[in-house]
Chains A and B, each alone.
Chain A
């Protein structure tokens, strides 16, 4: 880490020497292992250690980014000079600039992002664990006939942010994940499904037995799926699909999308956008959260942001450019890759849990759909129109009855937020977007 910080100091010194007003940079260095086992054999073993630097140069309100994975001092210097030349061709943009100096810094809140254990787990153990994961999946039921494989991935990353505002700091993160994809077969019906677990800490991963059981159960419960009739019904969103819906809202509160009017939530600040059951939060300081960080990618100190409170849209998520553009407070939401200018993004974005048990939500539906999967196409972010290919289980008299597939679920996200009738108590932070089970009334299911 110290070596990376020293390099950041060196690059900032070169920049200052060239008479540049403002600049900031991101350095990402990681190391990761990936193991895939299929039908008991290693199918793929992959090692990687990417390292890159991205540098934003601002001169006279003009902005350019240069990036490299070559850390030789001469190469980086050469690229800086080339970019300064290229800036001549850019337009002046009065909103361009670094964030205010007083907002830059590190959160004093203790957030755990690094697990030391990652340094000592041998490759053989990882192979053994995924092999066992797949075996457990096959053992679960004779209906499990094939496997697309069990996978293990882990990575450790060092991130350094530096800026001409006198800031150079870094943090380290670890990441583990394990997943299994199984194929179930019965009477000519073949279905596939998966389950995964992901965490910053090894000890927080779901057990092998539990991941295997869920992957198998999910594939089996889809067997013999029918096409449902076209109708308008209440729909229970399983946490995975609810998370996908919350993810659409997350995308649409990003400042960089809002000022370009690429969001159905543009011009809606202060308005009621959902029922009073809807509380949406983005919290980079969540303990051990997969999106947690002490400062954002422009060096702005992290803070918890309440986005929707009792159904009212309270805040967008802004990096410094979109904050200026929208005349909105800075939220510490800058994200960037080494090759791009910072834009707005999420950290740990979630729908606050309610007080109804999942079983009670399902039991409240007389005739409707339990939605277990949606395909990724079919969202119009500008209008909020939602029309997704989907899979699920039909609910009859409050009970899960038979699997359904080859249909779409349609509505408008704004209407859906205003039709959230129940919010479950089953919130789990499985990823950096999370939601409990929800019930949305009156969606169109389009089938036969």
Chain B
């Protein structure tokens, strides 16, 4: 700590004292040092490289339901003291808290890597870009533009709070993204996909994560969509493909089970623990402890060990996900979901990796059970209105299902519906749970954090499809 941020433990204790000088129940300091870089290849050229450092320390004071937060990027005693006094303004002289002896807090070990990507030479990253680019171009001469980007970051974090919790963590995060444009004289279509996690570069040497697979897959989607037909509008049976369709869980149910929304009675799942909220085929879990996934964390951003939280079990709502503040206010236990974007923000309850437990059906059996419907394979993103559960998803690769078989590709399918409704309409759950390795990022209260999603093949009896064909 002294090497990286030039501050001693005894100085930190003094700063926490300033933070609590007007009262408050809890105060903490979060130091962060982030190295990040991006290398971009476009039109066969390594066009630009960007590399830099951002560092800062944020101080939080919690008093009941209130949070005061302030940060500084020039870390020294004077600035930290000023930040602490700013954050303390939230509290109103309600007694004082003793600062416990600082003790190292236990953490998990979920992202062991051979070497941090940010410590590897730039050559190895350029090689990845070249491989993605050439495999996309080789796939089909209809591919006219290819852009490939490699993003990496390493965060070094130190946390100390008044309860004496103290931890350090080093969090890697890498992402290789490919975007292609295909043209055939009549139409033009684009497609994009990303591949990464809390991993080192060795991740890309596995066959299923190979740069050439990524290039080919993106080119395949762009070329397929050239011949895609307008989607039929109206309510239809939808089969969700494995992996990326987990975005549906994230939006349709995950956000509604974040305890801050539930506590403020802003969620349509508020006060429904023990009630049936989904089809009994649905068991939905948030797990921060799956090695190397984008949403996994050794310890959350306020010192709680992440765990596996069963949110819905066979259709029954079992629990919410908490940070320490919501756990205290709702008299529940903290689930290790207190997360923040950076030192610029206080932690709030956030998902880690959300997934649905696999069922018994073979995926082929699910598709062949559909007479007429839509197979939604790859997703572009989604959003939800927490209060009433209404959601939308953009589907970037989809097919018509006719008489149990995938037939024509469909373009620009949008799914719209209501979270609780859709979960009640889940009819079949496949045995093929897949976790997406894409660059899923969740936005809440202006804060963006990396998350993971997982899903087996799932059949839903009816979702409204937006399309141009009536």
Task: Identify B90's interface contact among A45, A378, A412, CB under 8 A.
Answer: A45
The reply to whether B467 and A388 contact each other, CB–CB distance below 8 Å, is no
In this complex, what residue of A is CB-closest to B90? Answer: A45
In this complex, what residue of A is CB-closest to B73? Answer: A69
Q: Known: A42-B90, A86-B51. Contact between A375 and B383, CB under 8 A?
A: yes
Q: Does B264 have its Cβ within 8 Å of any Cβ on chain A?
A: yes
Q: Does B46 have its Cβ within 8 Å of any Cβ on chain A?
A: yes
In this complex, what residue of B is CB-closest to A65? Answer: B50
The CA of A423 and the CA of B213, in the complex, are separated in Å by 48
The reply to whether A407 and B464 contact each other, CB–CB distance below 8 Å, is yes
The reply to whether B467 and A446 contact each other, CB–CB distance below 8 Å, is yes
Task: Identify A377's interface contact among B50, B90, B122, B393, CB under 8 A.
Answer: B393
Interface flags for A117-139 (1: CB within 8 Å of B; 0: not) read 00000010000000000000000
The reply to whether A230 and B234 contact each other, CB–CB distance below 8 Å, is yes
Main secondary structure of the interface of B (DSSP, over half): strand
In this complex, what residue of A is CB-closest to B386? Answer: A192
Q: Known: A64-B49, A408-B414, A446-B465. Contact between A261 and B188, CB under 8 A?
A: yes
The reply to whether B416 and A50 contact each other, CB–CB distance below 8 Å, is no
The reply to whether A93 and B47 contact each other, CB–CB distance below 8 Å, is yes
Q: What's the nearest-Cβ distance from chain B to residue A252, in Å?
A: 12
Interface centre among A49, A82, A405 (most CB of B within 10 A): A49
The reply to whether B264 and A44 contact each other, CB–CB distance below 8 Å, is no
Interface centre among B147, B189, B382, B414 (most CB of A within 10 A): B414
Query: Which residues on the B side are within 8 Å of A271 (C-beta)?
Result: none
In this complex, what residue of B is CB-closest to A412? Answer: B468
The CA of A70 and the CA of B5, in the complex, are separated in Å by 12
The reply to whether A90 and B233 contact each other, CB–CB distance below 8 Å, is no
The reply to whether A47 and B69 contact each other, CB–CB distance below 8 Å, is yes
Q: Does B110 have its Cβ within 8 Å of any Cβ on chain A?
A: no
Q: Does B266 have its Cβ within 8 Å of any Cβ on chain A?
A: yes
Q: Does A79 have its Cβ within 8 Å of any Cβ on chain B?
A: yes
Interface flags for B101-140 (1: CB within 8 Å of A; 0: not) read 0000000000000000000001100100000000000000
Q: Does A66 have its Cβ within 8 Å of any Cβ on chain B?
A: yes
Interface size class of A (residues with CB under 8 A): 35 or more
Q: What's the nearest-Cβ distance from chain A to residue B409, in Å?
A: 14
Q: Does A60 have its Cβ within 8 Å of any Cβ on chain B?
A: no
Q: Known: A93-B45, A377-B382. Contact between A190 and B268, CB under 8 A?
A: yes
The CA of A65 and the CA of B418, in the complex, are separated in Å by 44
The reply to whether A382 and B190 contact each other, CB–CB distance below 8 Å, is yes
Q: Which of A9-17, A236-244, A338-346 contacts B (4 or more CB under 8 A)?
A: A338-346
Interface flags for A369-413 (1: CB within 8 Å of B; 0: not) read 000000111101111010111000000000000000111111110
The reply to whether A90 and B48 contact each other, CB–CB distance below 8 Å, is yes
Q: What's the nearest-Cβ distance from chain B to residue A189, in Å?
A: 8
Q: Does B265 have its Cβ within 8 Å of any Cβ on chain A?
A: yes
Interface flags for B25-50 (1: CB within 8 Å of A; 0: not) read 00000000000101000101111111
The reply to whether B56 and A69 contact each other, CB–CB distance below 8 Å, is yes
In this complex, what residue of A is CB-closest to B53? Answer: A68
Interface flags for B350-392 (1: CB within 8 Å of A; 0: not) read 0000000000000000000000000000001111011110111
- Count of inter-chain pairs, beta carbons less than 8 A: 242
Task: Identify B466's interface contact among A49, A383, A388, CB under 8 A.
Answer: A388
Q: What's the nearest-Cβ distance from chain B to residue A52, in Å?
A: 7
Interface centre among B50, B51, B265, B387 (most CB of A within 10 A): B50
Q: Known: A191-B388, A377-B382, A410-B466. Contact between A68 and B52, CB under 8 A?
A: yes
The CA of A125 and the CA of B187, in the complex, are separated in Å by 57
Give chain B interface residues in 430-455, CB to chain A under 8 Å.
Answer: none
Query: Which residues on the A side are within 8 Å of B346 (C-beta)?
Result: 44, 46
In this complex, what residue of A is CB-closest to B64? Answer: A41
Task: Identify A89's interface contact among B123, B345, B381, B465, CB under 8 A.
Answer: B123
The CA of A339 and the CA of B391, in the complex, are separated in Å by 33
The CA of A90 and the CA of B46, in the complex, are separated in Å by 5
Interface flags for B79-103 (1: CB within 8 Å of A; 0: not) read 0000100110110000000000000
Query: Which residues on the A side are within 8 Å of B392 (C-beta)?
Result: 375, 377-378, 388-389, 408
Q: Known: A90-B47, A446-B466. Contact between A260 and B147, CB under 8 A?
A: yes
The reply to whether B45 and A91 contact each other, CB–CB distance below 8 Å, is yes
Q: Does B339 have its Cβ within 8 Å of any Cβ on chain A?
A: no
Q: What's the nearest-Cβ distance from chain A to residue B311, in Å?
A: 21
Query: Which residues on the B side are within 8 Å of A340 (C-beta)?
Result: 38, 50
Query: Which residues on the B side are within 8 Å of A20 (C-beta)?
Result: none
Task: Identify A191's interface contact among B68, B89, B387, CB under 8 A.
Answer: B387
Q: Does B144 have its Cβ within 8 Å of any Cβ on chain A?
A: yes
Query: Which residues on the B side are within 8 Å of A92 (C-beta)?
Result: 45
The reply to whether A63 and B47 contact each other, CB–CB distance below 8 Å, is yes
Q: What's the nearest-Cβ distance from chain A to residue B148, in Å?
A: 12
The reply to whether A43 and B67 contact each other, CB–CB distance below 8 Å, is yes
Q: Known: A69-B55, A261-B188, A387-B468. Contact between A378 and B46, CB under 8 A?
A: no
Q: How many residues of B contact A (CB 8 A)?
A: 81
Query: Which residues on the B side are within 8 Å of A50 (C-beta)?
Result: 73, 344
Q: Does B235 have its Cβ within 8 Å of any Cβ on chain A?
A: yes
Q: What's the nearest-Cβ distance from chain A to residue B286, in Å?
A: 22
Q: Does A195 have its Cβ within 8 Å of any Cβ on chain B?
A: no
The CA of A193 and the CA of B266, in the complex, are separated in Å by 12
The reply to whether B45 and A49 contact each other, CB–CB distance below 8 Å, is no
The reply to whether A406 and B416 contact each other, CB–CB distance below 8 Å, is yes
The reply to whether B66 and A378 contact each other, CB–CB distance below 8 Å, is no
The reply to whether B468 and A444 contact each other, CB–CB distance below 8 Å, is yes
Q: Does B164 have its Cβ within 8 Å of any Cβ on chain A?
A: no
Q: What's the nearest-Cβ distance from chain A to residue B32, in Å?
A: 11
Q: Does A196 have its Cβ within 8 Å of any Cβ on chain B?
A: no
Q: Does B331 have its Cβ within 8 Å of any Cβ on chain A?
A: no
In this complex, what residue of B is CB-closest to A373? Answer: B385
The reply to whether A230 and B412 contact each other, CB–CB distance below 8 Å, is no
Give chain B interface residues in 53-70, CB to chain A under 8 Å.
Answer: 53-56, 65-70
Give chain A interface residues in 55-87, CB to chain B under 8 Å.
Answer: 63-71, 79, 82-83, 86-87
Q: Does A231 have its Cβ within 8 Å of any Cβ on chain B?
A: yes
The CA of A48 and the CA of B346, in the complex, are separated in Å by 12
Query: Which residues on the A side are within 8 Å of B36 (C-beta)?
Result: 339
The reply to whether A383 and B390 contact each other, CB–CB distance below 8 Å, is no
Task: Identify B68's interface contact among A45, A48, A192, A383, CB under 8 A.
Answer: A45
Query: Which residues on the B side are within 8 Å of A89 (C-beta)?
Result: 46, 49, 122-123, 126
The reply to whether A411 and B468 contact each other, CB–CB distance below 8 Å, is yes
Q: Does B322 have its Cβ within 8 Å of any Cβ on chain A?
A: no
Selected A-B contacts with CB under 8 Å, 20 pairs = A41-B66, A43-B65, A47-B71, A47-B83, A47-B86, A69-B55, A71-B74, A82-B51, A89-B126, A191-B388, A230-B233, A261-B188, A262-B190, A341-B48, A377-B383, A377-B393, A406-B464, A410-B468, A446-B234, A448-B234
Closest 10 CB pairs of A and B: A408-B466, A389-B392, A67-B52, A446-B233, A377-B394, A65-B50, A91-B45, A375-B392, A382-B190, A47-B70
Q: Which residues of B contact A (CB under 8 A)?
A: 36, 38, 42, 44-56, 65-74, 83, 86-87, 89-90, 122-123, 126, 144-145, 147, 179, 181, 183, 187-190, 231, 233-235, 264-266, 268, 344-346, 380-383, 385-388, 390-394, 411-414, 416-418, 464-468, 470
Given contacts A67-B50, A389-B466, could you give 16 more A-B pairs where the C-beta distance is less than 8 Å? A38-B65, A43-B65, A43-B66, A48-B71, A54-B52, A64-B50, A66-B52, A89-B46, A190-B268, A230-B233, A376-B381, A387-B413, A388-B392, A444-B470, A446-B233, A446-B465
